[in-house]
Chains A and B, each alone.
Chain A
Amino acid sequence: MGADSIKMEPLNPAPAAAPLLQVENLLKRFPGTVAVRNVSFGIWPGTIHALVGENGAGKSTIIKMLSGVYSPDGGQILIKGQPVDITSPHVAQECGISTVYQERTLINNLSALENIFLGREIQARTGGSFGLTDLRAMRDAVEELCQDFEFDVRLLHQAVEELSALSRQIVEVIKALVFRSELIILDEPNSGLSIHERQILFAQMRRLRDRGTAILWITHQLDELSGMADEVTVLRDGALVGTLNGSEATSGRIVRMMVGREIETIESFVTAAKARVGTLGGEVLRVDSLSDYTGLNDLSLSLKQGEVLGIGGLQGAGCNRLVETIIGARRFAAGSLFVDGVASRFRSTRQAFSAGLSYVPNERKSRGILPTFSIAQNISIASLSQFAHIGFVDQSAEAQTAQHFFGALNIRARGVEDRIVRLSGGNQQKAIIARALAAKPKAIIFNEPTEGVDIGAKIEIYRLIRDYVASGGAAVVKSSELVELLGLSDRVLVMKAGRIVGELSGLGPDDRPDDARKLEEAFMSLAAASKEN
């Protein structure tokens, strides 16, 4: 598929006609598996080249070979037509390749400036040989870049941990740029950024492109590709599927290339799921004028049986604090909270769970999974009393329940006794949802339900949520993915600066793409009405 559209330029001595970087038949083996199988593509100067594929498709492995972390087992890497041997990150830098990794690599308690020049400090004229550095020279060197990126120069001297997620991202980019990189690799640069911040980042990426820099952009957000990417290379199971021109790279086409089969789009999912919406039942959860000391201010909401209530807003709007307060992980100062009509003031998550709420947390790695427990133990942990006889866990009942959810949620694993860390992100997330369901809750609070999962698993998770709600449950979904939020929810509450500033109806089955765009615009105008930060 698409093999004829792969760009395979012959070696050309004229510099302008050759790709800046070209990989040919790149191969990388790991014990027992081939991570990257004969992949070839080229990146041209002054272009944004997107690299997409499901988790495990080989994207990270390719980046690590380009940035000198892994060495290839076969094939070659050419820069401006010359074969190069990138044996270490240092060599990559000398070749003009800088990488901004998905995991943040900044050191929290050093200042932004110290981070940018870490290991490459400009030495002071006097005392340089004793390790003294010339802060002023370093600041001068980055001042222009800071202006380009609308980054306040005064922030350079602040510890990185005090900066916002976006500022940290910009510091990483400046760090990559200050050494005149010709190719910048951005590994999922927008994960953890709010919608508004992503727009700023995209503007910066376009500016870089216009300056002639090449960008290799790894992303999961296919809807953001259009208008941004000049070329899109799609990988599947370690092999190249094809490279498309930006103009032909519609998200539907890319998804088909990524998964190799027809897959539901969120639009068709919405049509199917919401057409089945039945009548709403009684009120399951009510929050009245809730306020706390962190800036949550006079929040009220009501959730009925059979509905999905979305909560969204920009980073720092308080959506996260709100759901964590509902679930008993934070205290509130004023207001009241009712579960099934019973006034509740939870002093622990345990009390919230026994009142009939369940929770699917964000940041799966640190807050979701219990890493050394088996899958079965991870599923049962929130409802252990159901499996207990005089305090002892009935392990066969526990395994049976896990087995039931393997079937019901299509969890792909070797067995219920396998450790949860062995699963892919999507399957881990489904196990965490199984945990929430196993507690037989009246309502489930979802915090970023599809964070870091494949596109295939995403749709499965949406269906799980709608199925749960259709079978008599109720759900609150907090999400920073706008399409997901509007597509999944029946109603969406928009938050800004600790307040609820508006309510929108979710996408309906009859809505057209135009309606969807209008809805997104309505959301953004509420969420980002006035300039902040």
Chain B
Amino acid sequence: MQFALVRLLRTEGAPISLALILAVIAFTALNPAFLSPDNLAIIAVQSIFVMIIAIGMSFVLTSGAIDLSVGAVLGLSGGVTMFLLTMSFPTALAIIGGLGVGTAFGLLNGFLVTRLGLSDFIVTLATMGVAGGLLKTLAYIRPLRGAETDSFTWLSYGEIAGIPFPIVFGFLLVVTCTLILNKTVFGRRVQASGMSPAGAIFAGIDVPNVRLMVFALSGFLAAVSGILLAARLASVQPALGMGYELQAIAAAVLGGTSLAGGRGTVMGTAMAALLLATLNTGLQIAGVDPTWYPVFVGSSIIGAVAFHQWAERYVEAYESNALDAADLATLPSSSV
């Protein structure tokens, strides 16, 4: 029984999935309409935008850094794409333009942090301001709406085999990024860089280079999210993306990624992003006054983090007890 619990708690993303299931049960009990397929699809689509940048954030955090600019870069990338569409650029070019701007911001962050040795917190706080300001300027030049092409709209409203495209895309992204972080050489290096930067350097890893690539990935994913969101909203407001970086950090940490670096889980992050969207929609359906949402969401985050901490200690204590017993049997002179 104890062993089964430990195995469950150790499985990647399991604790947060448990919390998600509990939330779904609770909201369904309050209002059975919550469980309708349409409603679940809406929740899933709504969660995708935060989920994408939170996955990027998971990589950055795992490598031992932080990226506060993702929300603003998301907004700017969506804005640039919309801007190019209003200038009658082909859809593909407009999207490439948006992706380019996002990736460029990621590279700029990475360059300033790793090559000039500036603090990641300050650099990305500053580029957050820069990207946010540029979006406002774009929106001032011309209204960023009313130019969507059919193929652009399809990005958020199209379906593949009856499943909304954003959900299909999110699923594929989660699978790909899980593999990258857990199974590839690059993923190993990202983990090692955050676990012990000195240890990684002396094991022959180019830690600055790894972080540069991770920042670029984060900027790219922010652009992807911004373009999908622009397609969803059919317009880009000057403040688009504001505050998303905090939701991304919350989702990553809720899912089990360590703020101290070295440990991250894409699956957990995705589940946490779903949980955040579930709370928003669930409270709405339950008829809670919207002004109270942040209070509920904030409290849930504290609860989830506390649970996570407890689970971690529980597993740790179980393992070291089991190991002490085993050590005594097999390793006569092992150290205490």
Contact = CB atoms under 8 A, between A and B. Distances in A.
Interface of A: 30-33, 35, 54-56, 60-61, 237, 327, 329, 348-354, 358-359, 361, 366-373, 377, 381-382, 384-385, 387-388, 391-393, 395, 412, 414, 422-425, 435, 439, 454, 456
Nearest to A394: B183
B203 A381 contact: yes
Contacts of A373: 191-192, 195
B190 to A, nearest CB: 12
A359 B204 contact: yes
B88 interface: no
A64 to B, nearest CB: 11
Nearest to A424: B335
Contacts of A32: 321, 324-325, 327-328
Contact of A393 (B185, B208, B262): B185
B49 to A, nearest CB: 28
A350 B206 contact: yes
Nearest to A423: B334
Contacts, number: 122
B323 interface: yes
Contacts of B192: 370, 373, 381
5 contacts: A32-B321, A348-B206, A350-B204, A367-B199, A372-B191
Interface string B288-302: 000000000000000
A414 B324 CA distance: 12
A381 B205 contact: yes
A61 B336 contact: yes
B307 interface: no
Given A361-B198, A366-B196, A372-B262, 12 more contacts: A56-B334, A358-B204, A361-B202, A368-B202, A371-B196, A384-B185, A385-B185, A387-B185, A392-B183, A395-B183, A423-B334, A425-B335
Contacts of A61: 336
B334 A369 contact: no
B186 interface: yes
A370 B203 contact: yes
A384 B189 contact: yes
B188 A381 contact: yes
B263 to A, nearest CB: 6
Given A54-B333, A329-B202, A349-B206, A422 B323 contact: yes
B332 interface: yes
Contacts of B198: 361, 366-367
A283 B231 CA distance: 63
Nearest to A427: B334
B184 A372 contact: no
A349 B202 contact: yes
B336 A35 contact: yes
B122 interface: no
Contacts of A60: 336
B29 interface: no
Contacts of A30: 324, 336
B1 interface: no
A348 B321 contact: no
B263 A372 contact: yes
Nearest to A419: B319
A412 B332 CA distance: 10
A327 B204 CA distance: 9
A425 to B, nearest CB: 6
B209 interface: yes
Given A384-B189, A393-B188, A237 B330 contact: no
Contacts of B203: 349, 359, 370, 381-382, 435
B21 interface: no
A237 B185 contact: no
B326 interface: yes
B200 interface: yes
The listed residue with most A CB atoms (<10 A of its CB), out of B327, B328, B334, is B334
Contacts of B199: 361, 366-370
A4 to B, nearest CB: 25
A499 to B, nearest CB: 25
Contact of A377 (B188, B201, B205): B188
A393 B202 contact: no
Contact of A372 (B195, B323, B336): B195
Contacts of B201: 329, 348-349
Contacts of B184: 388, 391-393
B185 A391 contact: yes
A331 to B, nearest CB: 13
B186 A391 contact: yes
A184 B335 CA distance: 25
B185 A370 contact: no
Nearest to A61: B336
Contacts of A354: 204
Contacts of A358: 204
A385 B335 CA distance: 33
Interface string B174-218: 000001000111101101100110111111111011000000000
B336 A388 contact: no
Given A32-B321, A370-B196, A349 B328 contact: no
Interface string B159-184: 00000000000000000000100011
A120 to B, nearest CB: 32
B185 A349 contact: no
B212 to A, nearest CB: 12
Most buried by A among B183, B262, B321, B331: B331
A419 to B, nearest CB: 9
